[in-house]
A and B are shown apart, each in its own frame.
Chain A
Amino acid sequence: MSKPRLAHVVLGGCEGCYVSLLDAGAALLPLLEAVDLVASPLVAEDDLTDCDVCLVEGAVTTERDIEKLLQARKASRTLVAVGSCAVLGGIGGLRNLSTRAEVLDTALGVGERPTGVPELTARVQPISDFVTVDMSVPGCAPETETLLEALTAALEGRDWALPRRNMCDECGRTKVKLLEHSSEFVSDSVYAIMELDEIDPELCFLEQGVICMGPMTREGCGARCTVAGVPCRGCQGPSRPEFEQGGKMVDALAAVLPAGAIMFMDDLVGTGYRFSMPISIFPTIYDHGGDDDE
């Protein structure tokens, strides 16, 4: 019996998901024994014509990404979206708040345009905007173990999905005020984490006045950030794509933290939509249409 053919394709992203996979270290060896690696950042020549499982990381940000993605879909039996860029559009999706011309002017200088590189699409999009995705592993980057689990399941032809509850389910921090019936906010103001004199290692960040994206974010990473002492940034995206994180942040926290203080936060939109702007109901500036260069 021939080995299953595995491909790993990178679109617009930082290859951090790939690094997370490499972090498996010795655990990769049996996996590599068991598959034929036909395309990967570590393979000199990609053969993306026929594979059983194709991991796609990165968002669609250029015309070249679209071609590569369509080819990957055509070639593969099971297509796995890996990482928040592929699943949600990712952090690069924040560029959707500017026109393409503004982005290029800022990056390259006014009027300067690159030559010989793929053309930037009008906006960043998750791969599910273009192709059917069989399995999604969000996270920036996804946990190594999670990636291996998903990959193994895909190779064996099993279904695999992350749990759907929000991060609070697996965050061990305690809630006190949040559990009380009260019309008061749980904090007198909203603070950036570095503004706190002392960070309580046990208490819910919201109760310390720090915006935590945990409630708006799908669990599955083991609440890595809140365990490490920083609030959740929301990299796993929402449990259900139709309940977008930025909008729901407003809905959920308006009665929890002083709304006036939230309004004067440095970057309300960037906080709410850090990883998931491209899956917002409004994923870009209004009626962008890609015609901004004219």
Chain B
Amino acid sequence: MPLGLYVSRCGGKVDDVIDVDAAIAGVAARAAVVRVFDDLFDPAAQERVRRDVVDAELDGVVLAGHSIERYTKSLSGRHLIEGIVAAGINPNRVVAANILEQVALVHADDPVGATAKAKAVIEDACRRVELSDEAEGIVCEPRRSVLILGVTTEAVVAAQRLLQLGFSVVLADRGEGLSHALQPSSLKATSAYVAGHPNAEFVDGARISDGSGWVGDFDIVLNSDAGSAHYRVGGILLARPDVTQWIEELRGHFKVDIDENGHARSIDPDTHPSETIDPGIMVVPVRGSGDRTREKVAAADSAAMALVLQLSQPTTVHYMDVSEVDETLCGGCASCVRTCAFGACSIGEDGFSHVDVRRCRACGKCVVSCPVGARDIISAPHDYLIETIRGLADSEVEGEKVLGFLCAGCGYPAADGASAYVEESGESYPASFLPLRIPCGGRLDTLYVLEAFKAGFDGVTVFRCREGHCHNLIGNLDMDRRMNLLRTVLRSRHLDDARLRIVDISPFEGERFVEQINAVYATLGSLTNGKGGPQ
């Protein structure tokens, strides 16, 4: 596969620590294009990448430098990826090799280890590109309608903007929304505009009873005193991210990140206060009661603008991340039906498992539960995970190796955040801790742990979401059950099951990430390794 490898020096932060030539030596030989940029966010660098994609007919691109979080959780990052996709690369074949936040910034005191680790991380990303199928996109014309949850001042202001731009809105409130909406006298004209608009609908006493779909094309069922009603909307605006009932109901169907209070949170409160990890769901930041009206109006404007940007596109594309079931393998055992928290799996009349892609959140639990491997996750396929576990185990990093399975929702951002803690405290962790990102703790198969120990890892650590915080509701708990049962299997092989450690973490706990890895290393020496009993 023609592969392009692009290394960002990140303004020198990468090559201050890492010997870039050595780190890319292995991959450079098989890549069709290799370039090193000062900064990948430089427009000229991006233009260069897009031209290469066309000229060299690339099928996959590895961006070595920043964390994937930098691309998915910022508009400029998303724009960079979109540009590469527009040039002709399937989005499932644009992969970040995180050699900045998880290597250079945390192993500045160990340039040799950091270089070896960077090499392993880049090779991992290349494997991910090479062993991934293309994701299939479902294109839709976004619906110019928005469901607003919670009727607040901000909700009414945002509704007014949207109505004026030709959108229709549904304003749902758990109580009597319309009466609240008409409250602030300074906004009476706005309220009246919304309340009297033919394209505005108010639903009082509302509860979300069902939801499916994605940005541009959501299906929502609201129950209220008036009965149950079905709405098809392009986007959702959460005007009360502090009302935990709304959040819980939404989280039963969609990915919504929550903070320690159970409130919905945006991808970045400073730079992207409205956007959440679901591009179709926006939030109005929670304001203190002392906030002045103009701040509320600004917040509403920002949220409305974010929605308009999404829904004014001629088309939106949702990429499916779950494969069809292999009917030569599926016997209809229904393990997948029972493990799916979203009701996306079912056994059809034909006796085979089917996925309702509008409900699938691509957590990978059904893939793990499938005893015959009849289904796969396209962004984290089985063959890639097995190969990369072996590859990471073979990397040249010195010292006892620990494989870290990092849940994309918590462990991975925490690992990125650890770079700030390391810089501040000077305390780091060994470079022989090798990270492997998985979409959810629930994607962790017992076979991956067995493979890791077989391949030579001295320890396996899983960083998963704290209870109640999993994007996929119970991916973390299902993983716990599987891993705790696996402990019996590990012990039967005379392998001390304390070598498998599960850590709960929130995405902000960089310090805990460092502490926990060091705690793992502190115990390794005292555990049975099968090579002659306890050392």
Contact = CB atoms under 8 A, between A and B. Distances in A.
Interface of A: 97, 164-170, 175, 178-183, 186, 214-216, 219, 238-240, 242-256, 259, 262-263, 268-269, 272, 280-282, 284-287
B446 A250 contact: yes
A27 B339 CA distance: 47
Given A250-B489, A282-B495, 14 more contacts: A179-B347, A180-B337, A245-B371, A249-B371, A250-B482, A251-B445, A251-B446, A252-B333, A256-B338, A256-B339, A269-B488, A281-B451, A282-B453, A287-B529
15 contacts: A97-B493, A165-B329, A166-B330, A168-B331, A168-B332, A179-B334, A215-B335, A239-B372, A247-B489, A248-B447, A251-B371, A255-B481, A263-B484, A281-B450, A287-B531
Interface residues of B, number: 49
B355 to A, nearest CB: 13
Contact of B331 (A181, A215, A268): A215
Given A164-B328, A166-B372, A181-B343, A254 B481 contact: yes
B190 interface: no
Nearest to A184: B338
Interface in B194-216: none
A164 B372 contact: yes
Contacts of B372: 164-166, 215, 238-240, 243, 248
A259 B477 CA distance: 11
Nearest to B531: A287
Given A250-B486, A282-B454, A286-B494, A255 B335 contact: yes
Interface of B: 328-335, 337-341, 343, 345-347, 351, 365, 368-373, 386, 445-447, 450-451, 453-454, 474, 478, 481-482, 484-486, 488-489, 492-495, 529-531
Closest 7 CB pairs of A and B: A286-B530, A169-B331, A181-B343, A166-B331, A215-B333, A165-B331, A259-B481
B530 A285 contact: yes
A183 B450 CA distance: 27
A169 B332 contact: yes
Interface centre among B335, B339, B373 (most CB of A within 10 A): B335
A286 B333 CA distance: 32
A97 B328 CA distance: 33
Contacts of A180: 337
Interface centre among B330, B372, B373, B386 (most CB of A within 10 A): B372
Contacts of A238: 371-372
A169 B339 contact: no
A282 B457 CA distance: 13
Interface centre among A219, A272, A280, A286 (most CB of B within 10 A): A286
B341 A247 contact: no
A239 B331 CA distance: 11
A248 B338 CA distance: 15
A243 B371 contact: yes
A25 B131 CA distance: 51
A252 B371 contact: yes
Contacts of A268: 485, 488-489
Given A181-B343, A248-B446, A284-B493, A263 B334 contact: no
Contact of B373 (A219, A243, A245): A243
B530 A287 contact: yes
Contacts of A214: 333
Given A178-B338, A251-B371, A282-B454, A164 B329 contact: yes
Nearest to B340: A181
A281 B486 contact: no
A247 B495 contact: no
A202 B297 CA distance: 64
B338 A251 contact: no
Contacts of A280: 450
A183 B342 CA distance: 10
Contacts of B332: 168-169
B208 to A, nearest CB: 17
Given A183-B474, A251-B445, A240 B331 contact: no
A259 B481 CA distance: 6
A170 B331 CA distance: 8
Contacts of B334: 168, 175, 178-179
B470 to A, nearest CB: 13
A268 to B, nearest CB: 5
Contacts of A287: 529-531
A178 B345 CA distance: 11
Contacts of A164: 328-329, 372
B484 A178 contact: no
Contact of B338 (A169, A219, A242, A255): A255
Given A165-B331, A286-B495, A269 B371 contact: no
A139 B451 CA distance: 26
A249 B368 CA distance: 11
A168 B333 contact: yes
Contacts of A247: 445-447, 450, 486, 489
B328 A269 contact: no
A281 B529 contact: no
A216 B488 contact: no
Contact of A281 (B333, B346, B454, B492): B454
Given A243-B372, A252-B371, A262-B485, A186 B338 contact: yes
A212 B86 CA distance: 50
Given A179-B337, A251-B446, A281-B451, A97 B489 contact: no
Given A254-B478, A268-B485, A287-B530, A166 B333 contact: yes
